[in-house]
Amino acid sequence: MSYDTIIIGGGAAAYSAAIYAARYNLKTLLIQKVFGGETLLAGVIHNWPGAGKDGIDGFDLMQKMKEQAVDTGVEIVDGVADLVSQKRHCMTVKVGDVEYVGMTLILTVGMEHRTLGLDREDDFKGNGVHSCATCDGPLYKGKKVAVVGGGDSAVKTANQLLDMGVVHVFMIVREDNLDRAEPANLDELKARSEVSYVYNNEVTAFSGDKKVAGVTLKEGFEGSKELALDAVFVEIGSLPRADLAKQLGTDFDERGQINVDPYTMATDIDGVFAAGDVTNASAGFKQIVTASAQGAVAATSAYKDTKEHADMCLQHIRSQKK
C-alpha cells in the first residue's frame, strides 16, 4: 500500500501534521504505537489558545484532533512501525506483516521519560514509582507522595496530585529552587500548605517490599535520610525516541534530538521530516502548541516534496520488481 506521506507518532505533532497533509489532498497514513502522546497525559491544559480560562483536558484535545484527522481522510494504523528500506523520496515501513510505502516520511515519535537509574526502580514501576500523574495519581488519594524534579513538569505534577486528593507532596529537588517552572504553576504550588520542599537533595534508594514504602535521601531532611511515603513520581526530563531515526541515519544534536531545518522541519535525508519533541526545532521550548505548529510545517514541506519528486518513489518500486 502506497501513500504520499507516512506519519509515525500519536501525539499533537502527529495529528497536526496529519490534518494538514490530508487538507493538501495527500494520501496520508498515521502509524501510532500509543494514541495521544504526552498531551493525553497532561491533565488540564491552560495555555492552549482558545481553551478559555478553564483550559481543556489533554485527553479531550487529542480526541478532537483524532476526530478531525479521520474526518479529513487520514488513515490510522495502531502498531509499532519498523523501517524496512529507505531510498530517496521513497520509504517502506512495516507494521506487523504489512508493508506501507510512502513518498515522504514524518517522524513525530516524541520523548520517553528519564529514570533515576536506581536499584529496584524497574521492580517498583507501577508499584510506587510512576511518571504519569494523570494515569496513577488517583491511586494515592489520602496518601503521601514525592515528586522528584525541579522543572515545570514536576510542579504541574505536584499540583495535579494535590487536586486528586493526595494529602502531602514532598518536592525533592537537586537545586535550591524551582525557578525553572512556569510562574503561574509555581505560584499555585506555593499557595498550598500540603507541600514540603526538599531542596539540594536527591533520591539514592527505594525502600519497601512489593511496593514503595519510602526513599533514602542523599542529604538529610528534618533530621533523617529516610523518608516514609507511598509513591514517587519521577519528573526529571525526557530523552528523544530515536530508534527509527537511527535506522534512517539522520543527523542528531548533542542531546540526541533530530537535527531539522527550523523553517521546513526537513532532516538531512531527502523526503524525511520530523516534528515535535523529538527535534531540536524549538530551542528547548517543548510545548503542545510548538509541536502542533512543527507538525503543520512538516506536512507543508512534505506536500511540496511530493510535488517536486512525484515520480521518484514509483520508479524505485518499479526497479525493485524487475
Looking at every residue in the chain, the average pLDDT score rounds to: 90
Q: Known catalytic residue: 313?
A: no
Q: What is the pLDDT of residue 61?
A: 92
Q: Which pLDDT value is given to residue 246?
A: 85
- Give the domains, in start order, of the chain with CATH numbers: 2-112+238-321 (3.50.50.60), 115-234 (3.50.50.60)
| Helices of type H across 165-252 | 183-190, 243-248
Rounded to an integer, what distance in angstroms lies between the CA atom of residue 8 and that of residue 257? 16
CA dihedral 90, 93, 99, 102 (to 10 degrees): -30
**Residue type, position 139, single letter:** L
8 Å CB contact between 62 and 40? yes
C-alpha cell at 306: 511530493
Query: How many helices, marked H, and strands, marked E, lie in the chain?
Result: 10, 19
What band does 85 get if pLDDT is binned at 50, 70 and 90?
A: confident
pLDDT digits 0-9 by tens, 276-296: 989 989 777 788 899 999 999
Please give the grid coordinates belonging to residue 299: 506536512
Alpha helical stretches, state H, the chain: 12-23, 37-40, 58-72, 121-124, 133-136, 152-163, 183-190, 243-248, 288-308, 312-321
Q: Would you call 311 a catalytic residue per the annotation?
A: no
Convert the pLDDT of each residue in 135-164 to its tens digit. 788 889 999 999 999 999 899 999 999 999
135 part of the active site: yes
DSSP per-residue codes, 81-129: EEEEEEETTEEEEEETTEEEEEEEEEE---EEE-----TTHHHHBTTTE
Q: What is the pLDDT of residues 221-231, one digit of tens each?
A: 999 999 999 99
Q: What is the pLDDT of residues 193-204, one digit of tens each?
A: 999 999 999 999
Among residues 78, 119, 122, 135, the one annotated as catalytic is 135
168 has a pLDDT exceeding 90: yes
**Which one of 136, 152, 277, 305 is the catalytic residue?**
136
Angle, alpha carbons 232-233-239 (nearest 5°): 130
Q: Over pLDDT 70: what percentage of the chain?
A: 97
Q: What is the residue type of 237?
A: G
Q: Which of 4, 90, 132, 277 is catalytic?
A: 132
* pLDDT tens digit sequence for 98-136: 999 999 999 999 888 888 999 999 899 888 998 888 778
**Coil, strand or helix at 252:** strand
pLDDT value of position 96 = 93
Greatest Cα pair distance, the chain, in angstroms, is: 76
pTM as predicted: 0.78
